[in-house]
Structures are given as C-alpha cells and as structure tokens.
Amino acid sequence: MNTADLRLPVDVPSTALFTDQYELTMLQAAMKAGTAGRRSVFEVFTRRLPSGRRYGVVAGTGRVLDAVENFRFDPDVLGFLRERAIVDEETLAWLADYRFSGDVWGYPEGEVYFPGSPILRVEGTFGECVLLETVILSILNHDSAIAAAASRMSSAAGDRPLVEMGARRTHELAAVAAARAAYVGGFSSTSDLAAGFRYGIPTVGTSAHAFTLLHDRERDAFRAQVESMGRGTTLLVDTYDVTEAVRTAVEVAGTDLGAVRIDSGDLLLVAHRVRQQLDELGATGTRIIVTSDLDEYAIASLAAAPVDSYGVGTQLVTGSGHPTCSMVYKLVARADSTDPAAPLLPVAKKATGGKTSIGGRKWAARRPDAEGVAEAEVIGTGPIPPELADRALLVPLVKGGEVVAREPLDTARTRHITARAGLPLSATQLSRGEPVIPTEYVRGLAG
C-alpha cells in the first residue's frame, strides 16, 4: 500500500486558500485588463543563503506537487470568497473551473542549491500561475530550511543515525512536514506517527520520564518496560541517578539490553562514564542514545564520545536558527499578448536594497572541476551551452497540468547524500562562511 495516496487527517481537501488575498485580487484585475491569459514564467529562488550557511537543500517538492493537484475552489471555498466580497462573480466563475494546466520544472528534491538557483520554474497563463505563489513558497521555505538543518546535523553525526523528535515543538501539521524534510536531509527515523503513516518514514520511541515517575521504584519501571517491549528496548536512565539507573537496567534486562538514553547533564562526560560502566557490567553491545536540545554544533562536539545515535527536536524543527530560506516567487518572463505563440519577453523588478532580480526563463547547471567536484553553479537564459547540457539541474515535474515526477522519499534522501558528496569538502564545515561554490550568470536570449 502506498500511504502517500491515502487521504489522512493531516491532509486537507483543498489547498486553494493557502494563499494571500492579493493573489486573487491581482487575478481579478488582470482579467479585467485582458492580461490574465498571457503566457508567463515564474521562478522560485533565493537571493542569499541564511547567514553562515554554505549550501541549501531543496525539500518539499513532493508536497508542492500534491498542493498543485489539490488547488481547487470547491463550493465552500467559493462561498467564503463571495461572502467576504474578495473577488467579483466573474472571477469566482473562473476560479470554479480552476485546474493548473501549465508546466513546472525544478531542482529534484534532495538536490542542493545556491543563491540565484532557479529552484522551481512555473509556466502557464499569468492567472493560473500567480495563484500558486503563496502555497509553493510556504512549502519550500519551510521544508528546505528543515532539510538544510538536518543535512548539517547528519554531516556532523557521520555514520551515527539521527532520530527526528520535534513534534511537540512545532505546529502539529508542520511537525509532519518537518519529519519528512528531516528524512530528506539525512535523518533515519522519526517519533511522529503521522509522518510514519503518511510518508513511510521509520518510527521509533519507547518511554519518557513520566513512565519512570509513575512507578514506585525505577526498577519497577524498567521491569515493566522490558516485559512489555523485550530486552532490546531503550531504557531512559537519567530520571534520578544515572550510575544507579544503568546498574539497575542491566540487572533487569541483562547484558542484551538494547540501549540506554541520556537526556540531561554534561552529555560528553556522562556518555563516557556510561559506556565504561556498561562495558564493565558486560553489556558491551548496549547502545547509548543522547537527546537534550541538540543542534549540529552539539552533535559535532560529541564526535569523540561513545554515542551511537542522537535524538533531535527543537533545533531541527526550527531550522537551527534559520526557520526560512527567504525564497521568492518572481515573474521573470511573459508574453505581450494572449496569443499562445507570442514570444516571451524577459521582465524583472528593479529596486534598491538587494531586491533586484534577473529576467528571462533560466536554466541551471553545476560545473565540476577536473576532479569532478562542483566548482560553480552556472545559471543562464537561452540555450544551455553544450558542455553543460549533461549537468543541467532542472527536471520536468508537471507537464500540461499532469504530475510526471513523483518518486519515493528514499530517492530524494539518497539524492541529497550524493549531491552533498559532490561539493567541496568545506561544504560540511560548521564554521560561518560564504556559499561553498559561486553562482555565475550566462547572459543569453530570453527563451
């Protein structure tokens, strides 16, 4: 069974109102001006990476495809718009029949990106494309921020697995999206069952401090858990005294105890002491899991500690200090009439303060050096140079309104590992720095 095809409580019947009011009022005005039917090209990009970040991670693409498919104005939604007098009857009639019929190209999910990268390109009439701006940005900005944080954490963790456990630190639906994005970025599992059910992500979890506090003695709690879940379970050992808890845990479960979890204290020091104690008790195969407000820096600081896996919550689901990617959705080309054959003309906003953009439908390619390591993100308009054709980054996602690029989440996760490995080694440094490769622009025809 493909759980992604199920209609679960974490889904909504329509994404049409996940938008800002001005998208609809622009549509109404464009319809009256006779310009809503002009062929147009919108692109999603960011002008800069969050401070100190050396690469970005594309995540949420699969959710964007779902959102585009579900962008429908049903009677209840139309009734709301009519009641509020947000748009006129002519526009409501147009919205009632709305189905996106254009094309979408984009960086495949899990790929890395840099300033200016045309992460998503949406083509169709102005009317059908402009409505998608807010929902596309809300998904990509959130999910890509989480995936970027997850990527830094998974890089710092090396071969040690990471558990996403931030559901209680964010909105209940954002938690599901965050777990999905974290998986793309390199996490191995989640504690959130909705994410496991919706996206097939492996789920884990055993007990919290409340379970120990419920029982008269810590030993009683450990015994109850082992009898219920088996000797391979994970026992939480920092409710009272860690040393005594570890001793009790091995006495109750035996040397086959699966793991112990440490959730407080000086994790580096405590992990070393617990490892030594476990080995002395003969539980040499018992793993140590650490949690407690971890981020990529804390994970890196534990690289030399005898830790087997990490659980991360708050810092992950908040993007580890950068909860958005500042992506924008800009019109970059449009026709001068509603004739489908009319050529596209490049357009761009001119502004001060770093908010300028470059007009024209763009392609992107990542140029490697002689060793096969990425050395530049090359972006241009017009035909792509032959020497870069096999390095093109954008792939078709939607053609004629039909989704053509759905894929398993594991494919995106594997793609990210490959893409990150293709960057210079400095990409994984946690110290602040500029993007690990520069963005170069090639001027050409608008296309």
Query: What confidence tens digit (pLDDT) does each residue in 273-287 have?
Result: 999 999 999 999 999
pLDDT at res. 445: 46
Q: Is 414 strand, coil or helix?
A: helix
Percent of the chain with pLDDT over 90: 92
Give dist(CA 140, CA 137) in Å, integer. 5
Query: What confidence tens digit (pLDDT) does each residue in 361-384 have?
Result: 999 999 999 999 999 999 999 999
Give dist(CA 357, CA 141) in Å, integer. 18
pLDDT at res. 444: 65
Q: Is 43 strand, coil or helix?
A: strand
Give dist(CA 190, CA 170) in Å, integer. 14
Strands 374-381 vs 439-442: parallel, antiparallel or unpaired: parallel
- Supply the DSSP string of 415-444, one letter for each residue: HHHHHHHTS-GGGG--S--S-SS-EEEE--
Report the 10 Å Cβ neighbour count for 193.
14
Give dist(CA 412, CA 57) in Å, integer. 11
The residues near 401 (Cβ < 8 Å, ≥ 6 apart) are: 99, 100, 101, 102
Among 93-107, 141-155, 343-357, the minimum mean pLDDT is found in 343-357
Give dist(CA 303, CA 264) in Å, integer. 17
Strands (E), 16-153: 39-45, 56-57, 103-106, 112-113, 120-125
Tokens of 32: 């009256």
Mean pLDDT of 207-226: 98
Give dist(CA 186, CA 413) in Å, integer. 6
Report the 10 Å Cβ neighbour count for 76.
11
Mean pLDDT of 350-369: 86
pLDDT at res. 52: 87
pLDDT at res. 9: 47
Rg over alpha carbons for the chain, rounded to the nearest Å, is 25
Report whether 420 contacts 151 (CB < 8 A): yes
Regarding predicted confidence, which is higher, 132 or 356? 132
Q: Kindly state the DSSP code that residue 406 receives in the 8-state scheme.
A: -
Composition of the chain by helix, strand, coil, percent to 5: 40, 20, 45
- The yes-or-no verdict on residue 13 having pLDDT over 90 is no
Strands 374-381 vs 362-368: parallel, antiparallel or unpaired: antiparallel
Q: Kindly state the DSSP code that residue 186 receives in the 8-state scheme.
A: T
Query: What confidence tens digit (pLDDT) does each residue in 392-432 have?
Result: 999 999 999 999 999 999 999 999 999 999 999 999 999 88
pLDDT at res. 359: 94
Strands 39-45 vs 344-346: parallel, antiparallel or unpaired: unpaired
Give dist(CA 355, CA 222) in Å, integer. 58
